[in-house]
Structure 1
């Protein structure tokens, strides 16, 4: 019997996943599977294009199932049941949309998607709570029809995230960052800005009455010269500290202002969804609708195929990791360790006079 060992490039269990994922053979097989899918789609997508005319929904399902298995099974990456499950799972997800398509046309299906998004947005809060959370921005129609709009949303969200980080960094201050860098120590949550704003308020209140008193005393400057000088020094010292705090907080205030503006911009963008969606739909021709729907259906099938391929790859990784757990330590190593322990035990017994 031949025995195999792990290659020297793998010295620890954590390397197995990346090694398999980057393996040329694995990538080649997966690439071949996707190439066969592309070829299959090229041949059978026209049958889907004709569905509004043929109305043969179940016949299309049978064609897709049998031809998909015949085309992708020879690659050998997924077994027959998994290959068939790709189409079956996808079909189950889009069956009502396919029925709508067979009863109307591609434009009608696109309109139904638009209506679904509009209805979800127009629901009151109670209705939204009763249903599963629905994010219209994640709807497949929006992703395909308005990629530039989603890019605007993403950029606005990224800007907000950046400003939030800047705001938090100022609030935490340099001391908090230094404390966080020390291992083994947990620093309490601090808010430098809040502390400074509290101090600023106290300082302003502190000089409020002295300012009033100074104003009165200055009406008789010769009689109150000493007291006036004392108050002026007191007020001046506190005003210097107030100015320093204001200067420190100025960049923070600018960040907060920008953050409010960006959040308002994002809210406006999201509120424009229906308007932009309807405008984009109105610009579509019948041919555009057909191409759009076919592209969305193809995306769904690819996503389902990728899910099964990923699951299969994870099974392979898990199997190899299991082998590592079982066989990484060779029989020779086990015997050597056993002999070393036995030798140490004998030496211990000899020391006690038992051998």
Structure 2
């Protein structure tokens, strides 16, 4: 390729001037349009294969109910994948088959679950559910985490500033932390309580300002972390409801309500102790009813429990992503082999040629010096 080699003379080529070391070989190859297009063709071929293969794969759901069996579907899928990839002349028949086998091995438990239980939500990683239904929630959590990180950086800067203002010197193994510096600042401020004069006022003001700055940032971090914890708990609750619905949770609450009703029916309205217990039980019942109402509202807000079709789509998406990742792994191995082969040419020829040229240059310098000494050249 012209971006790597140039013609020296008939039958001989040399590395182009831009290839000055082995890292340049890898950079040049990875930036090559032909290589990029080859990788893209493979991904496109896999996408075309999966568009049809996903329908065959989906038939696994009926494998236990008289439908086509897993071995038959597997044979068809591996044959069709080899037909797609082998003509591209990078992965031969055996590597294409190896790619399939590795992918199939990764999803073997998914296959067993699909055959036994259908498109069960347990096969869907949280990341896929979040991307499909709760990306806004996840983005809010990410944004809050970024704010916490920024505030933490501000706190570190405030602590550094406090070290200078307080002229703080650490003791053995002592580190400059917010807690340590607040303690040091307080001690200095207390020492200045009875001090008078402009200098003391100025120093006291600076120390209090630094102490206030550290505490303000700590408060922001504390509030943000509390909010972050709440948001993560809410997202976890939404994920659980999306997966399993609210029936099991509500049934548990209804059971407790029934138990409360049974206990209340045995109380005597004429006894003060029973009246107090009845009031407490009524309060417990209201809490349980509020939980049920909240669950219904939250379930409605998230669009209800995931449907079989939605679960099927996300599981197939995950399985497709795993196939793409396996193809990428195989292509990266081929790319490394390509780079290594050119690196080998560099080791054998380019470096040796450069060393010979350098040695020749040194020899000519010595010869010129000798000739000059003998008076043959000026």
Q: 1:171 and 2:180 equivalent?
A: no
Q: 1:65 and 2:78 equivalent?
A: yes
Are 1:196 and 1:245, in contact at CA under 8 Å, matched by a contact in 2? no
Q: Which residue of 1 aligns with 2:101?
A: 88
CA distance 1:342–1:19, shift in 2 (3 Å): closer
Which of 89, 107, 114 in structure 2 is aligned with 1:76? Answer: 89
Deviation at 1:344, TM superposition (A): 5.8
Question: Per the alignment, in what secondary structure is the counterpart of residue 4 of structure 1?
Answer: strand
Q: Deviations over 1:58-83 (max 9, x none)?
A: 22222222211111111122233332
Q: Which residue of 2 aligns with 1:257?
A: 219
Q: Distance in 2 between matches of 1:243 and 1:175?
A: 15
Are 1:16 and 1:321, in contact at CA under 8 Å, matched by a contact in 2? yes
Q: Which residue of 2 aligns with 1:181?
A: none
Q: Which residue of 1 aligns with 2:317?
A: 295
CA distance 1:31–1:113, shift in 2 (3 Å): closer
CA distance 1:192–1:59, shift in 2 (3 Å): closer
Q: 1:318 and 2:340 equivalent?
A: yes
Q: Distance in 2 between matches of 1:8 and 1:255?
A: 55
Q: Which residue of 2 aligns with 1:218?
A: none
Q: Distance in 2 between matches of 1:255 and 1:273?
A: 27
Are 2:129 and 2:239, in contact at CA under 8 Å, matched by a contact in 1? no
Deviation at 1:18, TM superposition (A): 2.7
Q: Distance in 2 between matches of 1:150 and 1:325?
A: 50
CA distance 1:206–1:245, shift in 2 (3 Å): closer
CA distance 1:296–1:335, shift in 2 (3 Å): closer
Q: Which residue of 1 aligns with 2:186?
A: 201
Question: Per the alignment, in what secondary structure is the counterpart of residue 77 of structure 1?
Answer: coil
Q: Which residue of 2 aligns with 1:122?
A: none
Are 2:103 and 2:322, in contact at CA under 8 Å, matched by a contact in 1? yes
Superposition RMSD in Å: 3.5
Are 1:171 and 1:194, in contact at CA under 8 Å, matched by a contact in 2? no
CA distance 1:173–1:296, shift in 2 (3 Å): same
Q: What TM-score results when the alignment is normalised by the length of structure 1?
A: 0.70
Mapping 1:153-192, distance limit 5 Å: 153-173=141-161, 191=176
CA distance 1:154–1:2, shift in 2 (3 Å): farther
Q: Distance in 2 between matches of 1:199 and 1:54?
A: 72
Deviation at 1:2, TM superposition (A): 1.9
Are 1:73 and 1:79, in contact at CA under 8 Å, matched by a contact in 2? yes
Are 2:192 and 2:204, in contact at CA under 8 Å, matched by a contact in 1? no
Deviation at 1:269, TM superposition (A): 2.7
Which of 329, 338, 355 in structure 2 is aligned with 1:334? Answer: 355
Mapping 1:22-41, distance limit 5 Å: 22-41=31-50
Q: Which residue of 1 aligns with 2:167?
A: none
Q: 1:48 and 2:57 equivalent?
A: yes
Q: Unaligned stretches of 5+ in structure 2? A: 1-9, 165-173, 246-303, 373-378
Mapping 1:106-121, distance limit 5 Å: 106=119, 109-110=120-121, 112-113=122-123
CA distance 1:326–1:105, shift in 2 (3 Å): same
| Corresponding pairs, count | 292
Question: Per the alignment, in what secondary structure is the counterpart of residue 78 of structure 1?
Answer: coil
Deviation at 1:4, TM superposition (A): 2.1
Are 1:16 and 1:317, in contact at CA under 8 Å, matched by a contact in 2? yes
Q: Deviations over 1:133-188 (max 9, x none)?
A: xxx76x55555554334333322322222222222233334999xxxxxxxxxxxx
Deviation at 1:98, TM superposition (A): 0.7
Q: Which residue of 2 aligns with 1:133?
A: none
Q: Unaligned stretches of 5+ in structure 1? A: 115-135, 177-188, 211-230
Deviation at 1:51, TM superposition (A): 1.2
Deviation at 1:278, TM superposition (A): 2.5
Q: 1:103 and 2:119 equivalent?
A: no
